Amino acid sequence: MNNSEVIRRLSERLRLSQREIRRLLKRSTEIFKKTLAEDLGFTIPEFGTFGTHVRQKRKAYNPHHKTFMMLPVKRAVSFHPSSALKGHLKAQRVDNE
């Protein structure tokens, strides 16, 4: 499901215009981004928890240059699906490629 389909479905369910939903969703994601940048996590009920963690610097092999490299420290976003979401997913394999 892509973003426009999400917006269409939400507008059907919330009885708001697609334009309005698009605006609200865009602003919401901006807030998500800012929250994560402040090193804070948040949970969307029935969906999952977003958070960040530090990925320490590490040594990695660069197969192209055939050398080892020191990859710098960085922050990564993590997502943990809620048990409610996981419960719905268990059913069977979905072809998503």
Partner 1 sequence: MSNKVTFSDLVGRIAEETGASKRVIHDLLKETAVVAKEGLVRDGRLSIAGVGIFKLKWRDARQGINPQTGEPIEIPAQNQVHFRPEAALRTFINRKYQHIKPEIIRNDIKPAPSLLKSTYLFLWRKRSALGWAAALLALLLLMLVGMFSFFQPSYQRALPVGETRQPEAIPRYRIPVEELTEEKKQIQTVAQPDLSPPSAGKPGGVHNVRQGDSFWTIAKVFYADPYLWPNIFRVNVEVVDNPDALEVSTTIHVPPLEGTVGGLSQKDIMNIIDGYMQVYLAYRRLNKTNAPYYLWVAKQYNVQEVLDRYEDRIYASDRDFILRIKGSARIK
Q: Which of residues 40-69 bind partner 1 (CB under 8 A)?
A: 40-49, 51-53, 59, 62, 65, 67-69
Whether 58 contacts 48, CB under 8 Å? no
For 8, 10, 26, 88, the CA distances from 4, given in Å and listed in that order, are 6, 10, 12, 23
**Interface pick for partner 1 out of 17, 18, 19, 81 (rule CB under 8 A):** 81
Residues 81 and 48 sit within 8 Å (Cβ to Cβ): yes
Q: Which residues pair with 75 in a beta bridge?
A: 54
State how far the Cα of 44 lies from the Cα of 39, in Å rounded to an integer. 17
Quote the least distance from Cβ 14 to partner 1, whole Å: 6
Query: What is the nearest approach in angstroms of partner 1 to the Cβ of residue 92?
Result: 8
Residue 18 engages partner 1 in binding (rule: CB under 8 A): no
* CB burial of residue 66 (10 Å; 0-12, 13-18, 19+): exposed
Query: Closest separation between CB of residue 22 and partner 1, Å?
Result: 9
Task: Please report, as ranges, the residues that interact with partner 1 according to CB under 8 A.
Answer: 1-3, 5-6, 9-10, 13-14, 16, 21, 23-33, 35-37, 39-49, 51-53, 59, 62, 65, 67-79, 81, 85-86, 88-91, 93-96
